[in-house]
């Protein structure tokens, strides 16, 4: 199983963001990718740099005007606000699809917005090459490989069609899923990051050819809030093609695995020809943003069950932050998946 990574993804280096009303160190740091890259090297994975597939695959999923806004956005902000200001939005256009949470922090976000995607001088290049890395993994699978892994950073599954959100700028997994529909008639995207794949839900909600499933704690009380409720099952051609499986906060490994089995069963009923996995290691019990309790062997078991679906699979890295077991969790999942798909 080949892995793909581009060092230009390390250029996005935000320092702070606002959470629960206070500025704090930003969780999505370049070191995350370095830890995962070094684990891959240590475990003998072949790591290749992606080719440049251009903007077309990105604009096929995202609003082209949103994509075109990003390349010079930081420079324009600095010219207007100066180098000491933090490039985050402070005016807000209105509401998006979703539901108002009960949690006060979620309610503030419902009426306000997300501060977790500050622009830096290296943001555009990092986000662009994160997307290219994902597309290269898709190309590998479309060319006949059983599986490929995209070490993407910044992550993507919170990015909606026309906005950044939750550390994410481009929705790499949705870009991959859409790209793969040129080869496979039916594609499934399963999100096993601890947070709702809210951006993926937004993008895919009316698609009939891509089935989306996300495992996550109840968004009425857990970030990213708003989207990911059990009754959000798709609209139009996408009716019945979205599945949100809700977990209790602190859910055990066995509970998470049982939820994964439900998602796998739904994907098999859909008749998917190929699989995309939004792979988050923040399901770990010791992750800084932990919401459930999965351990290294649990990640290995998740890999076994997903590999047993016997589908061409693109693994796209999402969350997993600087907790003590990050490398161990990645090693457990990725080496197990590699062995199971040889």
Distance from chain centroid for Cα 21: 25
Question: Phi first, then psi: what are they for 301, rounded to 5°?
Answer: -70, -35
| Distinct helix (H) and strand (E) counts, the chain | 11, 10
Token duo for residue 133: 């890395």
Q: How confident is the model over 249-262, as a mean pLDDT?
A: 98
Enumerate residues 6+ apart whose C-beta is below 8 A from 79: none
Residues paired with 47 in a beta bridge: 3
Mean per-residue pLDDT over the chain, rounded: 96
Decide if domain 2-340 falls under CATH 3.40.800.20: yes
Catalytic residue (choose from 158, 178, 179, 195): 158
Q: Per-residue pLDDT tens for 59-114? A: 999 999 999 999 999 999 999 999 999 999 888 877 767 888 888 777 867 776 78
pTM over 0.85: yes
> Where along the chain do its domains lie?
2-340
Residue 21 makes CB contacts below 8 A (sequence gap 6+) with: none
Is residue 158 annotated as a catalytic residue, yes or no?
yes
pLDDT per residue as tens digits for the range 162-220 = 999 999 999 999 999 999 999 999 999 999 999 999 999 999 999 999 999 999 999 99
- Non-local (6+) Cβ contacts of 310 within 8 A are none
Strand blocks (E) in the chain: 2-4, 16-19, 22-25, 47-48, 147-150, 187-191, 210-217, 242-247, 274-279, 313-317
107 or 134: which leads in pLDDT:
134
């Amino acid at each position: 199983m080949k892995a793909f990574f581009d060092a230009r993804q390390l250029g996005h280096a935000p320092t702070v963001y606002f959470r629960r009303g206070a500025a704090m160190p930003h969780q999505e740091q370049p070191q995350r990718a370095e830890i995962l890259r070094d684990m891959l090297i240590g475990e003998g994975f072949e790591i290749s740099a992606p080719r440049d597939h251009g903007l077309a695959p990105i604009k096929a999923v995202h609003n082209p005007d949103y994509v075109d806004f990003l390349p010079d956005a930081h420079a324009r902000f600095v010219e207007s606000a100066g180098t000491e200001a933090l490039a985050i939005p402070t005016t807000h256009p209105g509401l998006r699809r979703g539901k108002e949470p009960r949690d006060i922090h979620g309610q503030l976000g419902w009426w306000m917005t997300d501060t977790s995607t500050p622009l830096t001088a290296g943001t555009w290049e990092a986000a662009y090459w994160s997307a290219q890395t994902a597309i290269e993994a898709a190309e590998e699978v479309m060319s006949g490989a059983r599986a490929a892994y995209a070490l993407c950073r910044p992550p993507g599954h919170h990015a909606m069609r026309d906005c950044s959100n939750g550390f994410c700028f481009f929705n790499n997994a949705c870009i991959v899923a859409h790209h793969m529909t040129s080869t496979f008639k039916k594609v499934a995207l399963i999100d096993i990051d601890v947070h709702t794949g809210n951006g993926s839900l937004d993008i895919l909600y009316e698609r009939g050819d891509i089935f989306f499933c996300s495992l996550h704690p109840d968004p009425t009380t857990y970030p990213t809030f708003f989207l990911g409720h059990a009754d959000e099952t798709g609209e139009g051609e996408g009716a019945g093609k979205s599945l949100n499986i809700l977990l209790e906060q602190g859910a055990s490994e066995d509970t998470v695995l049982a939820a994964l089995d439900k998602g796998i069963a739904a994907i098999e009923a859909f008749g998917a020809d190929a699989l995309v996995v939004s792979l988050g290691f923040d399901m770990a019990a010791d992750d800084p943003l932990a919401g459930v309790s999965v351990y290294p062997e649990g990640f290995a078991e998740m890999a076994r069950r997903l590999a047993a679906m016997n589908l061409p699979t693109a693994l796209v890295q999402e969350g997993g932050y600087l907790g003590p077991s990050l490398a161990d969790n990645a090693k457990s999942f990725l080496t197990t998946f590699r062995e199971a798909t040889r």
